[in-house]
Amino acid sequence: MKPPPFDYFAAHDLEEALEPLAEGGGDALVLAGGQTLLPLLAYRLAAPTLLVDINGVAALQGISRVGDGVRIGAMTRQATILRDPIIAAQTPGLAMAARFVGHTQTRARGTLGGSLSFAEPAAEFPATALALGARMEVRSRDGARTLEADEFFLGPYTTAMAPDEIMTSVTFPDWGPDARVVVHEVARRSGDFALVGLVMASRVEAGKVVRTAISWFGMGPTPLRSLQAEQAMTGQAVSDLDFAALAELAVADTDPPDDIQASAHYRRTVARRIFPRLARQTLEAVG
């Protein structure tokens, strides 16, 4: 379990980091928190010629309020997300998701941008970004572009980012002060990737659902929205909702894996059970 040989370069600013990625032709990899990349190196599933360490790049840090939400530097540690007061006030769903990410010892180094860029299908942050409509800002030597969450996750461990791009920040838009977001997952051990996970965000006005987003993790090759169930709920009175029927509709939009961790049947069964509970938590307490 020793990493293969590679060169290492600690970048001091973004330009210094982007240059070798542009020249590296995909053989250079970015080292963010390293909590996934180092295991991949230990297993020799990754064999980069160069690691570009971006831990010293100040431009990738920082959490601030922006026009329509909160902008979070891509190198923000998962531990910081758990305790940051701006995140707690503006986008508490993200902090709720962070509780399920790894352990104290990995959250001290693991980052938001690293987790989103890795795009593990059973991870918490990608599904949270998808539900809340996060925008990822990425940069290469040629310039910056912004990617919406619903066009970002293309497959397992595959995103719309090019190999020469670095994620610089993530913006979580405001859902309004009365919005409620709940994140829950079922895993065998604390800190494991989810067998089934669900992020649900809702806004209710005068007893009616005005907006909702449902995003599953561990239930397909990417985090998955349940658009049919969202449509069926939007505009309806909370008191008229049939949560069991909605759960059926929501689960119909998933494509869970059948693997050594759990069967697809088990995952669907768990998903049907947790959906009504989360739906009630986001909808009934506000109304």
Partner 1 sequence: MSEHAIEVILNGRPVRARVESRRTLGDFLRRDAGQTGTHLACEHGVCGACTVIVDGEAVRSCLMLAVQADGRKVTTVEGLEASDGSLHRVQQAMQDAYALQCGYCTPGVVMTLAAALEANPKPTEPDLMEALSGHLCRCTGYQGMMKVAKRLAGGGE
Q: Which residue's CB is nearer to partner 1, number 9 or number 266?
A: 9
Residue with tokens 């990410």: 101
- Shortest separation between residue 184's beta carbon and partner 1, angstroms: 17
Name the β-bridge partners of 53: 10, 31
- Shortest separation between residue 14's beta carbon and partner 1, angstroms: 19
Q: Which residue's CB is nearer to partner 1, number 4 or number 62?
A: 4
- Shortest separation between residue 105's beta carbon and partner 1, angstroms: 5
Q: Which residue's CB is nearer to partner 1, number 79 or number 199?
A: 79
- Shortest separation between residue 75's beta carbon and partner 1, angstroms: 13
Q: Per-residue DSSP letters for the chain?
A: --PPP-EEEE-SSHHHHHHHHHHHTT-EEEESS-TTHHHHHHTTS---SEEEE-TT-GGG--EEEETTEEEEETT-BHHHHHH-HHHHHH-HHHHHHHTTSS-HHHHTT-BHHHHHHHT-TT-HHHHHHHHHT-EEEEEETTEEEEEEGGGTEEETTEES--TT-EEEEEEEE---TT-EEEEEEE-SSTTSPPSEEEEEEEEEETTEEEEEEEEEESSSSS-EE-HHHHHHHTTSBGGG--HHHHHHHHHHT-----SSS--HHHHHHHHHHHHHHHHHHHHTTT-
Q: Which residue's CB is nearer to partner 1, number 101 or number 246?
A: 101
Binding site for partner 1 (CB under 8 A): 1-10, 31, 34-35, 38-39, 41-43, 51, 53, 55, 79, 102-106, 108-109, 189-191
- Shortest separation between residue 49's beta carbon and partner 1, angstroms: 9
Q: Which residue's CB is nearer to partner 1, number 103 or number 265?
A: 103
Q: Which residue's CB is nearer to partner 1, number 31 or number 213?
A: 31
Q: Which residue's CB is nearer to partner 1, number 143 or number 190?
A: 190
Quote the CA–CA distance of 251 and 274 in Å, as a whole number.
11
- Shortest separation between residue 183's beta carbon and partner 1, angstroms: 16
Quote the CA–CA distance of 110 and 29 in Å, as a whole number.
16
- Shortest separation between residue 48's beta carbon and partner 1, angstroms: 11
- Shortest separation between residue 210's beta carbon and partner 1, angstroms: 36
Phi, psi of 20 (to 5 degrees): -65, -25
Q: Which residue's CB is nearer to partner 1, number 191 or number 207?
A: 191
